[in-house]
A and B are shown apart, each in its own frame.
Chain A
Amino acid sequence: MIPLIVFFACALLAVASAVTLILAREPIHSALSLINVMVALAILYLLLGAEFISAVQIIVYAGAIMVLFVFVIMLLNAGVEERTDYSKLAKYAGLPLGFFLLIEIARWMYGSSAGSTIANGAGAITGAVSTRDLSSELFRQYLFNFEATSLLILIAILGALVLARKNQ
Chain B
Amino acid sequence: MGFISEHSVLVASLIKVAVLLFIVMTALAYLTWFERKVVAHIQSRWGPYYVGAHGLLQPLADGLKFLFKEDLTPPASDKLVYVLAPFLALSLSLTAIALIPFGPPNLRLFGQPLFVVSNIDIGLLFLFAITSMGVYGVALAGWSSNSKYPLLGGLRSSAQMISYEVSLTISVVGVLLLAGSLNFNSIIEGPQGQGGYWLHFVPKWNVFPQIIGFLCYLTAAVAETNRIPFDLPEAETELVAGFHTEYSSFKFAMFFMAEYANMITVSCLATILFFGGWLSPFPETWRWQLYLPGAGLIALGIYCAYDAATRMRGLARLQLSVVTVLALGIGAVCLLPMVAPYVQGPFWFTAKILVFLFFYVWVRGTLPRFRYDQLMSFGWKLLLPVSLANLVVTAAVIVFVTRHA
Contact = CB atoms under 8 A, between A and B. Distances in A.
A, B bound: yes
Interface of A: 26, 28-29, 32, 35, 51-52, 55-56, 58-59, 62-64, 67, 70-71, 74-75, 128, 130-131
Interface stretch (B128-136, B217-225, B250-258): B128-136
Contacts of B151: 74
Contacts of A55: 122, 125-126, 128-129
Interface string B160-198: 001000000000000000000010000000000000000
Interface residues of B, number: 26
A67 B182 contact: no
B155 A63 contact: no
Contact of A52 (B81, B122, B132, B162): B122
Contacts of B78: 26, 28
Contacts of B136: 35, 67, 70
A59 B135 contact: no
Interface in B129-160: 129, 132-133, 135-136, 139-140, 142-143, 151, 154-155, 158-159
Given A28-B81, A32-B81, A64 B121 contact: no
Contact of B182 (A56, A71, A74, A131): A131
A128 B133 contact: no
A59 B128 contact: yes
Contact of B135 (A26, A28, A56, A67): A67
A125 B170 CA distance: 35
B129 A74 contact: no
Contacts of A74: 139, 142-143, 151, 154-155
A71 B158 contact: yes
B351 interface: no
Nearest to A39: B133
Contacts of A52: 122, 125
Contacts of B81: 28-29, 32
15 contacts: A28-B78, A29-B80, A51-B122, A55-B122, A55-B125, A55-B126, A58-B133, A67-B135, A67-B136, A70-B140, A71-B158, A74-B139, A74-B154, A75-B155, A131-B125
Given A67-B162, A74-B155, A131-B182, A59 B121 contact: no
Nearest to B122: A51
A51 B132 contact: no
B99 to A, nearest CB: 12
B393 interface: no
- By Cβ-Cβ distance, the 10 closest A-B pairs, closest first, are A63-B132, A58-B129, A55-B125, A59-B129, A51-B122, A55-B129, A74-B143, A59-B132, A63-B133, A67-B135
A130 B132 contact: no
B120 interface: yes
A56 B122 CA distance: 11
B133 A51 contact: no
A131 B122 contact: yes
A34 B120 CA distance: 26
Nearest to B120: A51
Interface in B59-85: 78, 80-81, 84
B139 A67 contact: yes
B35 to A, nearest CB: 28
B14 to A, nearest CB: 16
B98 to A, nearest CB: 15
Contact of A131 (B121, B135, B162): B121
Contacts of A67: 135-136, 139, 158, 162
Contact of B132 (A32, A58, A75): A58
A62 B133 contact: yes
Nearest to A130: B121
Contacts of B140: 32, 70
A67 B136 CA distance: 7
A64 B132 contact: yes
